[in-house]
Amino acid sequence: MDLTSELVADTMVIRVRDSRIDAAMAIPFKDKVRELARGAAERVVLDLSRVGFVDSSGLGAIVATMKLLGPGVRLELAALTPNVARVFRLTRMDSVFRIHDVAPDAAHGG
């Protein structure tokens, strides 16, 4: 699972560089996000701009990740591609997560 992390102001931005979060990726995804976000910030934004596909297993992994981060950390999402936005819309999980049009960017001061 190819993820990178970057602190932008007080937000940990985790950029997913793989193109799919599916059943094959669900467990590595959870493990890697938790490792990157551990103790890092109160707010974690997942940049999904490169992700073209999330299935229900991937969606479950994102929800599980939010639970693993604990009550002191907010997990938010950014830059959903049309296919990924559809999954969140059809499952009504777009009402659960705060979703940003674009991820915070260090070059623009977050």
Binding site for other proteins (CB under 8 A): 20, 22-24, 53, 55-57, 59-61, 63-64, 66-67, 71, 82-83, 86-87, 89-93, 95-96
**Residue with Cβ nearer other proteins (6 or 31):** 31
**Residue with Cβ nearer other proteins (36 or 59):** 59
**Residue with Cβ nearer other proteins (27 or 106):** 27
Contact 53, 20 (CB under 8 A): yes
d(CA 53, CA 104): 22
In the complex, the smallest distance separating the C-beta of residue 84 from other proteins, rounded to whole angstroms, is 9
In the complex, the smallest distance separating the C-beta of residue 66 from other proteins, rounded to whole angstroms, is 6
d(CA 88, CA 34): 21
In the complex, the smallest distance separating the C-beta of residue 17 from other proteins, rounded to whole angstroms, is 17
- Kindly give, in sequence order, each residue whose CB lies less than 8 Å from that of residue 84, ignoring residues fewer than 6 positions away: 48, 51, 52, 53, 54
Query: Checking DSSP bridges between strand 99-100 and strand 11-16, what pairing results, if any?
Result: unpaired
**Residue with Cβ nearer other proteins (9 or 90):** 90
End-to-end CA distance of the chain: 25
In the complex, the smallest distance separating the C-beta of residue 72 from other proteins, rounded to whole angstroms, is 12
